[in-house]
Structure 1
Amino acid sequence: MLRIAPATLCVYCQRMRLLSTTCVANSTPINTRLENQHTVDAFYELSVDIRKVRKFKGWVLSESSAYVAETADFLRGLGADEACIARVLETHPEAVLCRPEEVEAQRDLWSTVCPKPRELVSIIEKFPASFFTVSHHAYQKANIQYLQSLHLSKRIVGKLIASAPQSFSRPVESNQKVIHTLRETYLDLGGSQGNLRVWLQKLLSQNPYILMRPAEAWRDSLGFLRERGFTTEELLHLVSSLRASIAELQPEAMQQALDYTQGVLQCSEEELRQIVLHCPALLYYSVPYLSGRFKGLLDAGITPEQVKETPNILELTTQIVLFRIQKLASYGYDVRGGSLDVITGTKKDFEESYGKLQLRRQRPLFNPVAPIRTVEE
């Protein structure tokens, strides 16, 4: 039997004891830093899931300075209940590392776009990382002031800073450049100065990350579409329909999508432009994606001519199209010989069309002027 010297055994036991303690403390790969027991206990008292924190942000528990009680009191002061506080700290435990004065400064800043405490709590619960990233406070302040100078609504600015904090974590000049390009684009395409603010608000609300797109991306996308023959009025329609998505389109990808669609539908340039105006999403569909859509439609018996007449059918997945065709067929409606309008649109639109078809089939036929037969007759 193997004998272990007492000294060796002592060292071995010490190592195993250390290994065991560390593993229990972290429940994940070994962390060489010991946990701050005060932080752990404070999290327990707030019903925070320690296992979750250890798994994803275990390093927070090892920091020597933490303001758990102060952070919880701050959230309570805004009206947050205990469940909300626990969710915030589980999602973003780094919040307890912010000094109380930094958190107060964030509250004062964010209150300029979200003055109601309950609404601010709701934003913090959804986007805790955005609020508790205090290192970019100066940039956030400058960008908020700039966007407010454009007379944008507080709700829009609040949504931007919460859901797209990267846009507020950089010098204000970067956002000014993008906004200037957006304004120039809208006015150059025939938009009116009076509608500019409303259009800009819709654009930013649709895609808060629009400010992260380079200004040149807008010029490249619109320049390509202009070369394809779209008029100024049509370009304004596309920009308004696609909103911020148009800045994410690459000319090469759009070229491939348009060429493929034109080849499948055997349409002219003018017909192709009308198809795009009725289905702007076609511009950001990849060729493999379009191939699958067209194959599904043609296999279902739908003709290219029908697609040209109702191009927004391409916005539906093949599964949805087949399901709606089969559902309509059960009431005797064959889309292969009629319009595709009945199966396009949202689920609500289709249910309304389907309901009308059901009523038409179920309504009893009778002659309103014929005498009613009685039992005696």
Structure 2
Amino acid sequence: MLRLIATSLCKRAAALPLPRRPCATLSTAENQQTVEALYDLSVDIQKVRKLKGWILHRSPAYTKEVAAMLKDMGASGSIIARILAVYPEAVLCHPEQIQAQRELWTSVCPKQKELVGIIENFPASFFTSASHHDSQRNNIAYFQSLNLNKRIITKLMASAPQSFSQPVEQNELMVRTLQQAYRELGGEEANMKIWLQKLLSQNPFVLLKPPEVLRETLLFLRARGFSTAQLLRLLSKLKGFVTELNPDSMRCTLAFSQDAMGCSEEELRDIVLNCPAVLYYPDVILAERFQGLLGAGVSMSQIKETPTVLELTTQIVNYRIQRLRLRGYDARTGSLGVLAGTKKDFEMSYGKLKLGRERPMFNPVAPLKADD
């Protein structure tokens, strides 16, 4: 499901190049001022030594200055300790550089409390190299000129900082390509801004892809018989993830899905429109999910009627089927609509079932209160 893909964003943000300063030197001995300052801030020194010990050998370092800036923004001592334990590279940033970043981020996220939360979750995005400041400013100005919501811009900066570090011309080219595709597929100009905001929000990394990827994907799908209206509908459903696709992977996945479900080209297109996951999940994953559903007694015709059930892992499917069975609902003979969807969707459907009495059951998939 799209949410699963979206969870990789925070991990990708950590790939931002580390701050570099010509004056910094690496010593064979630890910088005791840095060690003592981190210790006074209750930072887990052992964790820093284990994962990024080289930082403790750098000089100069600005541990106290970084902590003071975060405190001035409203960060508590525990939050400061967590930030520096996760991203100790922050202590290598010059105070002037940090102040410049603070002013930059405040222009799109004026509430200090929210900004502290962003820094806590995406420290690598905030404590970036000073050499990127000009590109960041230019990109902020560009996205503001598109009248995008400030929250969207902030999310882009936090989860896809590379897109703000690259020349603004690259982002302009990709945005124009997306807008052109939207118009050519019959999208209404009045809805362009909302459509673009949703797309960038769902997958900020779309800006890092070559525009050719989007064109190749659309040409491939058009060759597979999707109409202009269907392509617009699909593009809206896939949002930014349309750029994660390529003709070779889609060709393989579609061939497998069509063979597994025994459907026609027209039926396959309807299935893809209802469940875009059929396009971007590898055939290995789809094979596992088909097997899991069929093993639970679900028929292939049921899957074809409700293909969105393929967005669920086998564990989640089995867990939901067991819960439904406790209510007297047999997924093998009923609609899979009650089974599919997000956790919230399932709980709402489940709560409406009045076919039996629910008995307490241990959840073998996840701890109590955890997302399934």
**Smaller-chain TM-score range?**
0.7 to 0.9
| TM-score using structure 1 length | 0.83
2:101 is the counterpart of 1:97 = no
Q: Residue by residue, what CA displacement relative to the aligned partner does 1:71-119 show, whole Å, maximum 9, x if unpaired? A: 2211121111211222222222222222221211111111111111222
Q: Structure 2 regions of 5+ residues with no counterpart?
A: 1-25, 358-372
Q: Measured at CA, do residues 104 and 331 of structure 1 come closer, stay the same or move farther in structure 2, by a change above 3 Å?
A: closer
Q: Residue by residue, what CA displacement relative to the aligned partner does 1:252-291 show, whole Å, maximum 9, x if unpaired? A: 1111111122122222111111111111111012112222
2:245 is the counterpart of 1:249 = yes
1:163, distance to aligned residue in structure 2 (A): 1.3
Q: Structure 1 regions of 5+ residues with no counterpart?
A: 1-30, 363-377
Letter aligned with residue 275 of structure 1: I
Contact kept in structure 1, 2:35 and 2:56, CA below 8 Å: yes
Q: Measured at CA, do residues 125 and 335 of structure 1 come closer, stay the same or move farther in structure 2, by a change above 3 Å?
A: closer
1:69, distance to aligned residue in structure 2 (A): 1.9
Alignment match, 1:24:
none
Alignment match, 1:131:
126
Question: SS of the counterpart of 1:335?
Answer: coil
Between 1 and 2, higher relative CO (CA 8 Å, sep ≥ 6) is seen in: 2
| Identity rate, percent | 58
Alignment match, 1:19:
none
2:190 is the counterpart of 1:188 = no
1:330, distance to aligned residue in structure 2 (A): 4.4
1:221, distance to aligned residue in structure 2 (A): 0.8
List structure 1 runs of 4+ shifted beyond 4 angstroms: none
Letter aligned with residue 112 of structure 1: S
Q: Residue by residue, what CA displacement relative to the aligned partner does 1:44-90 show, whole Å, maximum 9, x if unpaired? A: 22222221222222222222212222222111211112112222222
Alignment match, 2:275:
279
Alignment match, 1:48:
43
Q: Distance in 2 between matches of 1:229 and 1:40?
A: 63
Which of 167, 170, 182 lines up with 2:166 in the alignment?
A: 170
Alignment match, 2:303:
307
The structure with the largest alpha-carbon Rg is: 1
2:268 is the counterpart of 1:267 = no
Letter aligned with residue 122 of structure 1: G
Please state which structure has a larger fraction of its residues in helix.
1
After the TM superposition, which of the residue ranges 261-270 and 330-339 deviates more from structure 2?
330-339
Alignment match, 1:366:
none
2:333 is the counterpart of 1:349 = no
Contact kept in structure 1, 2:27 and 2:58, CA below 8 Å: no
**Which runs of structure 2 are paired with 1:1-377 in the superposition (5 Å)?**
33-133=28-128, 134-357=130-353, 359-361=354-356
Q: Measured at CA, do residues 278 and 61 of structure 1 come closer, stay the same or move farther in structure 2, by a change above 3 Å?
A: same
Aligned residues: 331
Alignment match, 2:368:
none
After the TM superposition, which of the residue ranges 336-345 and 177-186 deviates more from structure 2?
336-345
Q: How large is the RMSD of aligned CA atoms in angstroms?
A: 1.9
Question: SS of the counterpart of 2:316?
Answer: helix
1:293, distance to aligned residue in structure 2 (A): 1.8
| TM-score using structure 2 length | 0.84
